[in-house]
Amino acid sequence: MSAKQTLALSKTQFGLVCAAFIANLVFIPSISTHLMQGTWGGHSVMTRLPNSLVSVLGFPVYSYTLITWHAAAALSLAAAMFVQFVLAHRTERSDRAVAFHKALGPVVLCTLLPVFLLFALALSLCVIHTPFNHVMFTVLPLMIFYAIFRALIGLWRGDRELHADSMFLAFMLLESAPVYRIVMFAFLSFGGAPLAPNGEPVDGGAAIRTVIVLAMLTLGYWSCGRLRRNWLPLVLLGSVLVLSLTFLPWSLTGAP
């Protein structure tokens, strides 16, 4: 293995990582609207998420507060993970770069990841109530936790490929958020509405987002010849999508 492939990622995998991170720029309009108007969603009432009071472990919290903290936690985690990929994917790594990579790992694992999981699960379990979106938004943080745990197993075994593929899985699942936002922009551009009459996001966004993320993961694993080795997470995520579409009420342009 060449020095350039320090983390055992293929060029295609690293390219997908970079593209997924750059896609976070799609959140600029939403963040700007939130800073100027204090709302989440679009400028119009029809595309604005409702600011409802929900209960999280018995504590009353406004949904906008959860969305804000979730966004901050997700972006912080994504930035830290992206730095890790860049540090590991260099032609020559200095001792300082290696030390920083090792020091940042525990910060991601023990601080940024737990905070992200807390707010992501609180948001998906307490704010989203429609069956299909409830499942699809809840499974993502759980799959990210699974991917990080799988990456730790690779680290303990000295298996760089398992570690790399698992971190690639975790990052691409985390970055499904900008993919989702792009899908919702597509709904708007074709004359659809990103929100159902009850204020919930339409089910079609989560379904299409999952298909796109599965395709990107498959491409990444295929590019390095390790698709067969990584079949389990693909099957798990795909099975949740298929079972949800089969047994849960859903609507492409609504939220039953």
pLDDT for 225 equals 94
Per-residue confidence band for 4, with pLDDT thresholds at 50, 70 and 90: very low
Rounded CA separation 34/92 (Å): 42
What is the average pLDDT score of the chain? 90
Q: What pLDDT is stored for residue 93 in this prediction?
A: 65
The predicted pLDDT at position 47 comes to 77
* Longest Cα separation, the chain: 56
Model pTM score: 0.92
> Please, are residues 206 and 132 in contact by the beta-carbon 8 Å criterion?
yes
Which pLDDT does position 1 carry in this prediction?
Answer: 37
Q: Is the pLDDT reported for residue 59 higher than 60?
A: yes
Distances (CA, A) of 160 to 29, 94, 104, 105, 165: 38, 19, 17, 15, 8
What's at 35, amino acid-wise?
L
Following DSSP, what letter does each residue of 20-78 receive, concatenated?
HHHGGGGGHHHHHHHHHHS-SB-SSGGGBPP--EEEETTEEEEHHHHHHHHHHHHHHHH
Note the pLDDT of residue 236.
97
Query: Which tens digit of pLDDT belongs to each residue from 117-139?
Result: 999 999 999 999 899 999 999 99
Q: Which two tokens stand for residue 16?
A: 């997908």
Average pLDDT over residues 209-219: 98
First and final C-alpha spacing in the chain? 51
Range name among 13-27, 158-172, 186-200, 211-225 with the lowest pLDDT average? 186-200
Q: Residue 198 class from Cβ within 10 Å (0-12 exposed, 13-18 middle, 19+ buried)?
A: exposed
Share of the chain above pLDDT 70, in %: 94
Q: Which residues contact 228 (CB under 8 A, 6 or more apart)?
A: none
Q: Is the pLDDT of residue 3 over 50?
A: no
To the nearest whole percent, how much of the chain has pLDDT over 90?
A: 68
